[in-house]
Every structure is written in structure tokens, then in C-alpha cells.
Structure 1
Amino acid sequence: MDEIKLKIIEEIEKSKDEQIDFLQKLVKTPSANPYVKNPLESNPEDPVELQVAELIYNKLEEIGLSPKFEGISPSRPNVIRKFGRKGRTLIFNGHMDTVLPTPGWEVDPFSGIIKDGKLYGLGALDMKSALSSYIFMVKALLRFESELNGKIILQFVVDEEPIGASPFGTRYLLEKGYVGDAAIIGEPGTKKIVIGNRGGYRFKIEVFGEAVHTGLREWEEKKKGLNAILEMVKVINALQEIEFPIEEHPIFPGRKNVLTFPTIIEGGKAINVVPDYCIAFGDMRILPGITKEYIEGKIKEKLDKLGVKYKLTPIIYVPPTFIKPDEPIVQILKNNAKTILKREPIIEGSGAWSDMWMFIEKGIPTVNFGCDGEGAHSKNEYVDIKSVIDVTKIYALTAIDFLRFELSP
């Protein structure tokens, strides 16, 4: 390892106590996104992430940078900072919101408590740890800005958790022209470098019946009333029978096309009234080759045979996306991860999607790579403290290599 890299690692080591202290502050500052249940209702005026955004903004100022707020509204700003010189651009992107706390936590989910080398709290792993790594990576690189033949863009974004396609966060910044030559998103895990994600199709189905009081003779004699919930049962059973192609894709080894229906279901207005309406939501995860039109065709083919009065409404379609394993950002990140971790991460796609698909759709090679821990989207979430520092080093060395040297055409 060359002298510059050794000095960068030394700088990160000097600041590790400060970094963990800042990570605790991030975890203690709530940014739980209430719109995970209803993504399309996400409100640009609701200050879900504002306190975290202000904390990050102030920290960047403290270390000598000049950040800016860039967002759909003053209540939900993304935090942006460009650092470096003209040349190639490497983006570090991460979301400031978290899911809602689940039941069963054994510690306060906003405590940031440290036990046995683990920092506990909602968002500690997903992904406030990576946000701290971005900041302290740049702090370490400040002394070596002359070594960079390009610039880093830090992006701390809002509203990722509900749907991974929000118009307020990453998509907003891309549309504003915040683009680069490659991007890293700090979604959790060092065991693999994620180079793509399965796509997704989310939808709702409404079923219509006829309401009638359960005490009336017309219902008893089946002359009036149609139970929309029982009609929905027909829909549910029919959709379980849909078969999708099972051909494996090399970027997503062992993964399949999976339809899950229902994930949410609601119906009925009163205990003594036959329900005239039922709504259910579904989710499908798809491999390359499956389109929105193909899925909708399969669903309608099954439901049109039932004689059920229904309405299918798409919520979102995210295309399956991936980049080549030999992309420079993938190989540079892999080499530096191997240097710091003393093991080589595997390179493959992910079953879940993140904001990376929007970068890839824009032609920007993007990977997911973040800290280690357990409990993301569950109780007792924690991040391994040593991993936080290791990942900070990996990010810094990757930035140096990507921006310092000329890449082969």
C-alpha cells in the first residue's frame, strides 16, 4: 500500500471515536418514515428527516466543508456536498430515513447504546452508519485533495424506505443534474458488492360487492348482498396459481420471480353489514426479462375468468437492473475491500431494490456496499463498530483509486 493510502487510514483511525460519537447522535435523532405503509401519500412538507439533515449539514460545516440543502421543500431537504477538482465524479449516496420501529426491542431503538462492540438503534445499520462513513471519509481526504483527479459528491437523501423510487430524494437530484461517472450506495453488508437488483411490481386490487344488513331476510335468502371479502378470496386463490419463468440469471444466482399477494388487505365497514368493498395490495420481485405488461397480462388472464368485479391498479414498476462485474468501480472497490477486510467479497445482484436502479437507468455504474450488522427492518438492529471504521477506510481508498488514476477506456 502506498504512502498516501497509509496516511489516509491513519487519519480515519485518529477520528474513529469522533465518528462513533457522531453515529450515536444520528441514531438518537429519529427519522422514521411513516409512509412505508402508504408510499404514494408521502408528504413533501412533512419534516421526516429534517433533524438528521441538519445534523449532517452542521457536521460537514464543522469539518470545513460548505454543504447545501437541495430538495422538493425546506421541510424535506437532501444534503449535498461536492468535494475535489474537475475530472471524473464519484457519488456516495445514502438515505437519511429509516423504517418504523417494530415491536419487541430489548433496548430503546433511539438510544445508540454500545454493547460488546455493537451500536444498537433504529437505522444504525440501515444506513446511518454509512452516512457517518461518508463524512469521515471526506474528512480524512481533505488533506489529500491534490491527489484527486476529480470530485466526490456526497448525497444524503430523503424518502427512500417506502418505495425506493421517491420523487423527493435520489430521483430529484438526478433530475437536477447531480450525476457522475460511478456511484456507491451504502446499503448494509460487506460480504458482497451488489451490482444490480431484481425489479419489482407493486399493485392494488379492489373488489366490489353489495352491502346489506346481515339481519335482513333478503340476505338470509341470498336475494341481496355480495360479500366483497369472499370475492377477494377467489382473487387471492387464483393469483397463487400464476406461474412465472424460473430460468436463472447469472447476476442473480439462485433467485426467482416471486409474487406475494396479498401483503395488505382491508375490507368491511361494520360487524353487521355485508362488506361491499375489499382492497388488497401485492408485491412481485422480478428477474430480467419480466415486464410490467407481462405481469399485468398474467394477472388479468386469471381474474377475468372468475366473474369477480375487480379493478387492478399499478402502484410502481421498477425494472431489473445490473452492471457488468468488470466495471472499474466494482473492481476498485473489490480490491480495496480485500485489502482492509482480508477477504474478497462476492459480486452479484440483490433480491431487493434500492435507489441504485435510478442511477443505472441514467447510465451511471452503481454498487451497494455498506457496514455489517444485523436486524435491519427488525428489532434490536445494530451495526458492528469495527465494520463502520473498516468501511470508512474502504470508501476512502476506493475514492482515491477511482479519482487519482486514469481508467482504461
Structure 2
Amino acid sequence: MLNTVSKNPEIELPDPDYVVATATALCRHSSVSGAEGVIADWVETELVRLGLDTWRQEVLPGRFNVVGTLDTGRPGPTLLFNGHLDTLPIPDGYSHDPFEPFVRDGRLYGAEINNMKGAVAGMIGAISALARTKDQLSGRIILSAVMGECDTLGLGTLSLVEAGLSADFCINGEPTDLQVMTCHVGVTQLSVRANGVSVHVCRSREGRNAFAELLPAMAPLDRRCLTFESHTDFPGLPTINVGKVSGGTMASMLAAGAEALVDVRTVPGMTPDSVLKDIEAAVAKVRTISGTPPDVEIRLLERPEFCQQHPYEVERNHPVVTAVAEAHARLFGDQPYIGPLYPQVFFGTDASHLNHAGIATVIYGPGKVDEINVVDESMRLDDMLSAARVYAVAGATLCRRN
């Protein structure tokens, strides 16, 4: 691969060795959700070394977002690169230390390289290359490396937006196997809770079993209780799932409390509030064995436990989508797929919060869904380097100097 791609403006590609070294460094740090402090330190130090203006946001104690800005000093658009630093818990069974990454047979082995340390490395590599030719650019290029995507579904990015982070467009690096993803569901999660009075079954007339209220409330919870219009990009959606029911202490005691957690994957036109109203209406129609409506409290889960997400979609001909797709085609000679991806259309990402805030976002990243969070996780070096190159070329295109 050449060091530059044509001219007018000149586009310098990321240094492959630097991208691999950056990914290796990221994979050396355990950053399971809740423990992002050390990796945030490393990223901030590296962005300072690259000459970026940096800002750190402590969202929760010891949990940080890191933002680095390349300001060209000329008026122009703002491009945001967005990726999360936190990871899922590391599975047992690795044949090697998951935090001692290594390269073998053209692959980088390291925990959570697919979700999404490979993409973050590619973005750092891209912004490093863009910094070397910033005299050819206008506007600003920002990297946001965030906490709390895996456990809260977006607390880090949402906190940045609420603190005033803005951009004209964004590239999010979730794993798409180098395809251009333009939509995914919204994610609404709710709690349905009932209270009771705990006594032994021999005195059941003196008590009240919370499950006698909760379980009837679960009966109508399927997609038929939801108000929606089908969408061609979201086949099989929306979905509703009662994923957890808990309460009580032992089989011989009436339960003093019981709770169900409900997940709804939504399509455009649905909102967390509309889902809440639909479920409240469905539950109000059923009756317990005593003939009364279930006495339950239904509420949306709240931050920091969970960040409600709206459905995400961006027009396939939006400039940020076009820039990424054309960069891919320019570098590799073939047009990438553009549109909904499966099963990713069922997922949630930080793109939801960014798009909802008015920052048009496209999702493009290295990594395969079936290789996320697996034992001995790895990524092809070519895929990671390809993503880094696309980020750099798309960034130079969107922020080219007029």
C-alpha cells in the first residue's frame, strides 16, 4: 500500500506498524466495564504525544471518557471518530494470557480486539496520519474514546453529548466486517415490580405473594401488545423479551417482592415512552386470580444502570456514508455493502445517542460478530489496517481544505 492516496488534497495513510503497536498496547490493558481508568490514561497520554488537545471526563468514579481534538485552525466541518474503551467480561479458557497480545499467522491475538480495540487503534492511527497533513485540511477532527458502552449501552457517549460535544458527522467503529452499517434497533428496558407480605404458607391468608401480582402481568407481554409500523430494514422486529424474574426467599414463603426485567428492541417510530405506555395498557387489561388488575410498578430503567436507546438510522446517501463507502472503494477496488447488517441490526451502539443528538453517524469497523468475546480472540491484521486506512481517507475527504 502506498503511503499516500492521490493528491488534492494529499492523503497520508496510517503507519501500519503504528496501528498494530497501538492495538497491542490497548489489548494489554484489561478494561472490563467499570475498570476503564488505566486504559483511559494510556489513550490520553498517546493523544497528547500526537499533539492533540485533550479533555478527560469522569463520568462515574474512576471511569473516564477521553477526547482528543485535531484543530486545523481553519473554519470547516467537524468529524467525530467514536469508539468505546470498555469491554465485556473476559471468558474463561484462554490458552494464553489474554492481556499479553501477540501476532501469529497474520492475526493479532488479544482480548476484546474485535469489540472494539482494533477499531480504536485504527482511529488513533488515522488521526495520527491526518495530523501529519493537517495543512491540507479544514475544520476539526475529534476522537472520543468512551466508557460504559458494554454495561450501560452508552453512558459515556451520552455524557459527552450532554456536556456539549458536537460534530457535523461521525464514524463509529463497531465491528461490521468492513461493511457500511446504516441502521439498528432502539433498545428499551423496563422493570416490572410487585410488593407483597411474606409469611409461611400455613398463614397465607395473613400475607400476600408478590408473584401473584407479577406473573399475571407477564402474560400479555409479547409483540402484539406493542404499537409499531413494520420497517423493511428491520425484519422480525420489534421484539419483547422477559429476560429475568426474581424475588422471594424460599418455596414455602410468600414472596415479599418480585421483579421482572423486560427488553424491547424497537423500530423507527417507537420510543421508550411509547413502549412504556403500551406495556402499561396491556397489563391494565389482565386480571389476577382475585379479579383485580395486577398491582405492579412499571418503570423504564434509568441511568447509570441503563441508557435507553432510540432506533438508529442514517440515510444511505448521506455525505458521511458516501465518504466511508467511497474511501473503501478507492482503497480496495470494490464497493462495500451499505445498509442493515444481520444480526447487528438487533444490537445497540453509541451511534443511537449520537444520531439522536443530531450527529449523523455511520458505523464501519473491523471485526466479525461471531469472533467477539470468544476464547483466544483475534483479528486479521489486514482488516484492522484496512479500517484505519478508510478512516483516514474518509476523514481527509470530509475535512478537505477548500
Aligned partner of 1:185 in structure 2 is 172
Q: Which residue of 1 aligns with 2:240?
A: 259
Q: Do structure 1's residue 203 and structure 2's residue 190 form an aligned pair?
A: yes
8 A contact 1:246–1:256 mirrored in 2 = no
Query: 2:291: which partner in 1?
Result: none
Distance 2:252 2:145 in 1: 50
Q: Which residue of 2 aligns with 1:151?
A: 140
> What code does the residue aligned with 1:323 have?
V
**Residue from 308, 312, 332 that aligns with 1:321:** 312
Is residue 285 from structure 1 mapped to residue 257 from structure 2 by the alignment? Answer: no
How many residue pairs match? The answer is 380
Aligned partner of 1:274 among 254, 266, 269:
254
Q: CA deviation at 1:245?
A: 5.9
CA contact under 8 A between 2:112 and 2:377: conserved in structure 1?
yes
Alpha-carbon distance in structure 2 between the residues aligned to 1:18 and 1:101: 26
CA distance in 1, matches of 2:234, 2:252: 51
Among 66, 79, 85, the residue aligned to 2:73? 85
Aligned to 1:310: 296
Give the Cα separation in 1 of the matches to 2:21 and 2:60. 29
2:349 to 334, 347, 354: 354
Greater shift after overlay, 350-359 or 328-337? 350-359
TM-score, with length taken from structure 2: 0.85
Q: 2:30, 2:207 → 1: CA distance?
A: 47
Once the two structures are superposed, the pairs formed by residues 112-261 of structure 1 within 5 Å of their partners are 112-166=101-155, 169-214=156-201, 216=202, 218-219=203-204, 223-229=205-211, 231-240=213-222, 242-244=224-226, 247-250=229-232, 252-261=233-242
Distance 1:298 1:173, change over 3 A: closer
Distance 1:269 1:392 in 2: 53
SS in 1 for 2:221: helix
Residues 88, 150 of structure 2: 8 Å contact kept: yes
Aligned partner of residue 249 in structure 2, secondary structure: coil
Matched, 1:28 2:28: yes
Q: CA deviation at 1:176?
A: 3.0
SS in 2 for 1:67: strand
2-side partners of 1:105 and 1:268: how far apart? 37
Residue 247 to residue 344, structure 1, CA distance change in 2 (3 Å):
farther
Give 1:380 shift: 4.2
Which residue in the other structure is 1:43 paired with? Answer: none
Sequence identity percentage: 23
What's the counterpart of residue 6 of structure 2?
2
Alignment-derived partner of residue 19 in structure 1: 19
The answer (yes or no) to whether the contact 1:332–1:402 under 8 Å persists in 2 is: yes
Q: Which amino acid aligns with 1:353?
A: G
Aligned match of 1:40: none
Q: 1:396 aligns with which of 374, 392, 397?
A: 392
- Gaps of at least 5 residues in structure 1 are 35-47
Match of 1:368 among 348, 360, 363: 363
| Residues 303 and 72 of structure 1: CA distance in aligned 2, closer, same or farther (over 3 Å) | closer
- Amino acid of the structure 1 residue aligned with 2:296: Y
**Unpaired runs of at least 5, structure 2:** 289-293, 302-306
In 2, Cα distance between the equivalents of 1:186 and 1:253? 21
- Aligned partners of 1:322, 1:241: CA distance in 2, in Å? 22
1:255–1:329 distance in 2 versus 1, CA, 3 Å? farther
- Post-superposition shift, 1:388? 0.8
Distance 2:173 2:394 in 1: 13
Name 2:304's counterpart in structure 1: none
Deviations 1:265-302 (A, max 9, x none): 22122454232211111110111122334323332233
Query: Are the structure 2 counterparts of residues 2 and 343 from structure 1 closer, same or farther at C-alpha, using a change threshold of 3 Å?
Result: same
